[in-house]
Chains A and B, each alone.
Chain A
């Protein structure tokens, strides 16, 4: 339910900004009037949604788990944060929009993807006939940039940061695309080799951006930088000097261990964590320590019975015939430490604070 609301919310924001943006210029990629918005906005909304879902996957076992309420509240209340997590969210959303537009281009959802008519005169004519059209990814990039960057109407450092991170997301899609070649010609020899760019899994884009998230660059701007012309120049100069492949942020992240209703942070109490699993990655094996131990919480083991499908007869898609099986699974959760050991609790809290300061 919340997912659908989020999608409509995002689409609504897009449409609202499109209508109010006086700087919007119609070029050949877009038709005039509301029909153009309808054609692309459903793909843009679906793309943003895929970005959100990828964000949740990437941060499933982090203290910050890409909560929807935090993002909503940030956008709504004007208390928009400018930290590392915001940077990742903007990048993954922008990447999701670009990815989905490119993909839907291959489906035939849009007219003239990759074919720019004006240069050659005829619709789908000379350019397509003479030398073919450009890759769909170029189209996805242009439309994604127009839609997503249109949301940033400010002139301050936060807007510059978001525009930069949007660009990083689009570069992530291009950077992870795979160049694939096929030999053909006389007797199947390599007389002719034709290459094209192929979209990867969106998971690869997410993994790529997660790496960038860990190495995000913090930008220090002079305090008091407002909307004056001088500070605008300084902002532009600062951001232009940073590579378009690196995420940037302005603020440090808050303590995600603690609940913070003002920021919409639920804290890690009550979170599930992983322990003792086969084939878990190092990051996943340390989930309980990261979410519970380092946050001053204990780990509680709970057993539950679940009903799941088993002994299925699978086809390559759609309905399958399965039996219902019961099995007991063990899960781990973060809980407050017991009150009995007050002294241990206090000493551990002190050592925790000392670690935080370092």
Chain B
């Protein structure tokens, strides 16, 4: 790699740049923690039990509304149904989303519904082993309270019941509820309408064993999860600000590269590609979701994230390889195909998995890959293969880092015997590598720490009268941090304009033909300007 800005920058300037970046970092955390609300909201819905007395209910689907002026004929519990001789096939569970006097908004970005059954224990009507529940569900929407409901989706789905009864199975404990796992129910990739209505039936067919052996159902509960509108606005604003920032530094970086008389080296190309993928993930395409009903926006966001992470992981491998200092000529992508294949293959597996889940949900929002045995096995296979690729990548990366540090130790012992130009060259390599290693480890550690905190904590802290949204701070802070990482990378590792070719003597060139190529790609200043740089040099000399 040619002499980068980072080696020629004075200590004062480097500190100033670091402080500015840290201030932006703190600001991005505070935007999430203090301004934005929690990233998501969960709303509990208890399904209303409506009675459908029509015999031909499959021709013109009548919509059952749980409340409001045209609400359905309802029962409180199934004892009431027993008295009125109502059968299981006449029951329709009705859920109106959102709750009364509220309306959904396109700012909510997605709607995820989770299903939970309240099943009562009865000695003579227990849940059979491996029981599966069949759900006939219709989804409708309308955009004002006086319109007719328009059907949006209809599906017959199966979900496997996984229930435990923790108390003793005695007559005394009849009527107590099983402890059932949550079931995935529905995911909408956009919230384009104000009101949604779900009508759910659990049809019984004794001959086909449909919905037989699923116990005695008391209630159906749903939990609706959506992104908070306030968080969406903050997130969009952040993306809109970051896109031109990274784009500008990317253009500047490319101009620096093209101003060189030599063609760009592999590492410079990879850094540029990283900038492109960061910009791709930054572009606020989501603004269109506020105006258009594009259900594929979630999937598109996943793909962009996948591309960025694949690019970042590849960059780390290539950066290590280009700093190996082992006399091998690299600067070609083909040298790294062994290490890059796990990244590509792992990303591809996750992409296939995402297509099988979110891709299918574009057509059928009630689809879940975990609902069937084959789907579960396929999903687990993809995830396991991706995990194995991740482990392989990690091993490769650790091995390369080990190699770099080993070679650094070897070079360090030879530094005093080198000519001035060669010593400055290797000192530059060592400094560049150590700096990036330190920054990368700090960013990765920060990401992992905040991920753990967001999993464990309540989601918000009370801080001297202010409520700090930890989860929102995590999202905006980490997102801002990686943007700053790419920004600093492109700025500090851009080729330096300072040239001191006259320093190289012809005798050195002739005498060390093995290192000629690496040497000629490095043009460094005679005096190491930064204190860190000088300390590194002194340390190397000792």
Binding site for B on A (CB under 8 A): 103, 106-115, 123-124, 128-133, 135-136, 180, 182, 184, 186-188, 190, 192-196, 198, 201, 203, 278-280, 284, 312-319
Cα distance, A192 to B124, chains bound together (Å): 41
User: Residues of A contacting B230 with CB < 8 Å?
Assistant: 129-131
Decide if A196 touches B44 in the complex (CB within 8 Å).
Answer: yes
**Given that A130-B230, A284-B172 are known contacts, is A314 also in contact with B39, CB under 8 Å in the complex?**
no
A129 touches which one: B96, B202, B229, B454 (CB < 8 A)? B229
A315 to B213, CA, bound (A): 7
* CB atoms of A184 and B225 under 8 A apart: yes
Partner of A182, one of B87, B212, B221, B225: B225
| A107 CA / B101 CA spacing, docked (Å) | 14
With A129-B229, A317-B78 as known contacts, state yes or no: A196 contacts B42, CB within 8 Å: yes
In the complex, the answer to whether A131 meets B214 with C-beta atoms within 8 Å is no
Top 3 A-B pairs, shortest CB-CB distance: A132-B41, A131-B37, A130-B230
Q: Which residues of A contact B301 (CB under 8 A)?
A: 186
| Cβ contact within 8 Å between A180 and B182 | yes
- In angstroms, Cα B46 to Cα A190, docked, is 26
CB distance from A193 to the nearest CB of B (A): 6
The answer to the question of B390 belonging to the interface, with a C-beta cut-off of 8 Å to chain A, is no
Query: Which residues of B in the span 194-240 have a Cβ within 8 Å of any Cβ on A?
Result: 202, 204, 206, 211-212, 214-217, 221, 223, 225, 228-231
Add 5 more A-B contacts to A131-B230, A318-B82 (CB < 8 A).
Answer: A128-B98, A182-B114, A193-B455, A314-B125, A318-B78
Among residues 81 to 103 in chain B, which have CB atoms less than 8 Å away from a CB atom of chain A? 81-82, 85-88, 91, 96, 98-103
Query: Separation in Å of the A312 CB from the closest CB of chain B?
Result: 6
Asked if A314 contacts B225 (CB within 8 A), the reply is no
Could you tell me if A187 and B100 are in contact, using CB atoms closer than 8 angstroms?
A: no
Asked if residues B100 and A314 are in contact (CB atoms below 8 Å), the reply is no
Interface hits, B34-50 → A, CB 8 Å: 37-46, 48
Is the Cβ of A317 less than 8 Å from the Cβ of B41? Answer: no
Q: Which residues of A contact B105 (CB under 8 A)?
A: 129
Chain B residues, CB < 8 A from A315 = 87-88, 204, 211-212
- Please determine whether B101 and A123 come into contact, CB atoms closer than 8 angstroms: yes
B147 adjacent to chain A (CB < 8 Å): no
Stretch at the interface among B315-323, B349-357, B484-492: B349-357
Q: Are B46 and A103 in contact (CB under 8 A)?
A: yes
Report yes or no: A319 in contact with B85, Cβ–Cβ below 8 A.
Answer: yes
B66 interface contact, C-beta 8 A: yes
User: When the two chains form the complex, which single residue of A109, A196, A203 contacts B223, counting CB atoms closer than 8 Å?
Assistant: A196
Q: Is the CB of B96 within 8 A of A108?
A: yes
B305 at the binding interface (Cβ < 8 Å): yes
Q: Which of B124, B172, B229 contacts A130 (CB 8 A)?
A: B229
Minimal Cβ-Cβ distance residue in B for A314: B125
Q: Note all chain A residues with C-beta closer than 8 A to B42.
A: 132, 182, 194-196
Residue among B100, B204, B215 with max Cβ neighbours from chain A (10 Å): B100
Query: For the side of the interface on B, what is the size category?
Result: 35 or more
Asked if residues A317 and B91 are in contact (CB atoms below 8 Å), the reply is yes
- In the complex, what residue of chain B is closest to A184 when comparing beta carbons? B112
Which applies to chain B's interface (DSSP): helix, strand, loop or mixed?
Answer: mixed
Say how far B13's CB is from chain A's closest CB, in angstroms: 37
Contact of B82 among A130, A135, A136, A319 (CB under 8 A): A319
B-side contacts of A279, CB under 8 Å = 168-170, 172
Q: Do B67 and A318 touch across chains, with their CB atoms under 8 A apart?
A: no
Once A106-B46, A195-B459, A318-B78 are accepted as A-B contacts, the answer to whether A112 and B101 lie under 8 Å apart by CB is yes
What per-residue 1/0 map shows which CB atoms of B166-198 lie under 8 Å from chain A? 001110100011000010000000000000000
Q: Is B157 an interface position by the 8 A CB rule?
A: no
Contact A106 B101 (CB under 8 A): no
Kindly identify which residue among B78, B204, B350 contacts A187, using a CB–CB cutoff of 8 Å: B350
- A-side contacts of B459, CB under 8 Å: 195
> CB distance B41 to A131 under 8 Å?
yes
Check: B143 CB closer than 8 A to any chain A CB: no
| B107 proximal to A (CB < 8 A) | yes
In the complex the two chains form, what is the Cα distance from A134 to B279 in whole Å?
A: 37
Q: In whole Å, how far is B196's beta carbon from the nearest beta carbon of chain A?
A: 13
In the assembled complex, how far is the CB of residue B237 from the closest CB belonging to chain A, in whole angstroms? Answer: 14
* B52 interface contact, C-beta 8 A: no
Show 20 A/B contacts (Cβ-Cβ < 8 Å), sorted by A: A107-B46, A108-B66, A108-B96, A108-B99, A110-B100, A113-B100, A132-B43, A133-B102, A193-B455, A194-B41, A196-B44, A198-B44, A279-B169, A314-B122, A315-B211, A315-B212, A316-B204, A318-B87, A318-B88, A319-B85
Cβ contact of B67, chosen from A108, A123, A128, cutoff 8 A: A108
Which one of B38, B41, B99 has the greatest number of beta carbons of chain A within 10 Å?
B99
> For the complex, what is the distance from the CA of A110 to the CA of B99, rounded to whole Å?
9
Query: Which of B124, B215, B221, B357 sits near A106, CB closer than 8 Å?
Result: B221
